[in-house]
């Protein structure tokens, strides 16, 4: 009997050990798997540029100047001449041939840019390795400029050495030039805090679909421009989207915020506004092109008399697009109307 009990005890211990091993495996399913390898891009290799900068041909002046500054910084700190090329988001151009080793600045036509930047707001940015390419920038020029200078300050100057470059240029070939590298461990981003969630809508269109257009005519032309600039600042601060502002000179868009008596503002509404009144109204519309095609669009009409500019701006900030401590949805419906008197 004792032999049987001992054998039973040994079997029970073996069963418990097997169960413990099984539980441990369940708790750590990735135990023993190989770690994810880090990708490191050598952008400049001891004075030789291994990467080309690519940007869309329609980027603004500020982005072009920032890229020029970056190229000069790389030359000064790494003694390398980086080639800058344009790509084309709106059409196919035979000369635009993608390469493996590219620094993609802003929203290019490369898939890596579109994937990394598609959900970013105007002032947000990323620096991120995507395959063999480096994505640097934002969906808009403001964020792209911020990303360029962040990259330059954090990596070009940090890894470079002006003194070594100067001595090398003076003929001392025994000096080893510094390289410029960027790896997945360096991936970073800059994102702000806003009152509204990314998919902020006015008449079922995203806020960043709109342009701001102010009247160039009449006694309120200067006040309309001032209003447009202040409105742009407010919308950027609350939504993260920095809208373009244009004078009403043959400029239009499918989705417009019209300030004052522009050529596309309802003349009847303008006539009804007296010196002490303001009106903010959202209207969906169909936009007809010269080729006969039609597109869905919308207008946000902002009208004010000569004494009501400040009241209209305050109404927009407090009732149309108010600030919020935590991100909320924005969905201003077609027909939304604010009308007031000073």
Residue 259: how many CB atoms within 10 A of its CB? Answer: 30
| Residue bearing the bigger pLDDT, 69 or 26 | 69
In tens, the pLDDT along 175-229 reads 889 999 999 999 999 999 999 998 899 999 999 999 999 998 888 899 999 999 9
**What is the distance between the alpha carbons of residues 229 and 287, in angstroms, rounded to a whole number?**
25
For residue 11, pLDDT over 90 is answered with no
pLDDT at 104 (0 to 100): 98
Q: How confident is the model at residue 30 (pLDDT cuts 50, 70, 90)?
A: low
In tens, the pLDDT along 99-140 reads 999 999 999 999 999 999 988 898 899 999 999 999 999 989
Are the beta carbons of 103 and 134 closer than 8 angstroms?
yes
Can you list the domains of the chain with their CATH numbers? Answer: 40-190 (3.30.379.10), 201-341 (3.30.379.10)
**What is the distance between the alpha carbons of residues 179 and 53, in angstroms, rounded to a whole number?**
17
**What is the distance between the alpha carbons of residues 130 and 208, in angstroms, rounded to a whole number?**
26
What single string gives the DSSP state of each residue in 311-329?
HHHHHIIIIIS---SS-B-
Give the mean model confidence (pLDDT) for residues 158-167. Answer: 92
For residue 8, pLDDT over 80 is answered with no
Are the beta carbons of 312 and 302 closer than 8 angstroms?
yes
**What is the distance between the alpha carbons of residues 195 and 204, in angstroms, rounded to a whole number?**
18
Angle at 81 between CA 75 and CA 84, to 5 degrees: 115
pLDDT at 77 (0 to 100): 96
Q: Which two tokens stand for residue 318?
A: 């407090």
For residue 1, pLDDT over 50 is answered with no
Handedness of CA 7, 9, 13, 15 (dihedral sign): positive
Contacts of 62 (CB under 8 A, 6+ apart): 141, 142, 145
Mean pLDDT of the chain: 89
pTM check: above 0.85 = no
H/E run at residue 42: strand 40-45
pLDDT at 250 (0 to 100): 65
Report percent pLDDT > 70 for the chain. 89
pLDDT at 299 (0 to 100): 95
């Amino acid at each position: 009997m004792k032999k049987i009990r001992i054998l039973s005890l040994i079997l029970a211990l073996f069963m418990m050990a097997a169960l413990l091993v099984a539980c441990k495996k369940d708790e750590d399913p990735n135990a023993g798997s190989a770690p994810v390898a880090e990708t490191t891009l050598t952008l400049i290799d001891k004075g030789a540029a291994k990467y080309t900068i690519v940007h869309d041909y329609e980027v603004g002046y500020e982005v072009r100047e920032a890229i020029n500054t970056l190229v000069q910084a790389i030359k000064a700190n790494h003694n390398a001449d980086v080639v800058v090329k344009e790509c084309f988001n709106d059409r196919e151009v035979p000369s635009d041939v993608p390469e493996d080793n590219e620094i993609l600045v802003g929203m290019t036509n490369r898939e890596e840019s579109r994937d990394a930047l598609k959900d970013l707001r105007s002032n947000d940015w990323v620096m991120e390795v995507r395959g063999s390419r480096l994505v640097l920038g934002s969906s808009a020029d403001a964020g792209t400029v911020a990303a360029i200078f962040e990259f330059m300050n954090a990596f070009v100057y940090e890894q470079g050495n002006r003194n070594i470059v100067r001595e090398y240029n003076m003929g001392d070939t025994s000096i080893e030039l510094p390289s410029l590298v960027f790896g997945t461990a360096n991936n970073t981003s800059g994102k702000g805090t806003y009152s509204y969630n990314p998919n902020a809508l006015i008449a079922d269109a995203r806020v960043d679909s709109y342009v701001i257009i102010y009247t160039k005519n009449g006694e309120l032309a200067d006040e309309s421009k001032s209003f447009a600039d202040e409105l742009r600042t407010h919308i950027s601060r609350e939504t993260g989207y920095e809208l373009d502002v244009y004078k009403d000179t043959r400029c239009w868009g499918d989705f417009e915020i019209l300030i004052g008596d522009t050529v596309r503002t309802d003349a009847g509404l303008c006539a009804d506004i007296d010196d002490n009144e303001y009106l903010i109204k959202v209207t969906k519309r169909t936009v007809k092109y010269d080729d006969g095609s039609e597109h869905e669009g919308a207008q946000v009409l902002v009208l004010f008399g000569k004494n009501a500019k400040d009241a209209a701006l305050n109404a927009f900030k407090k009732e149309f697009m108010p600030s919020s401590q935590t991100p909320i949805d924005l969905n201003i419906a077609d027909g939304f109307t604010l009308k007031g008197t000073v």
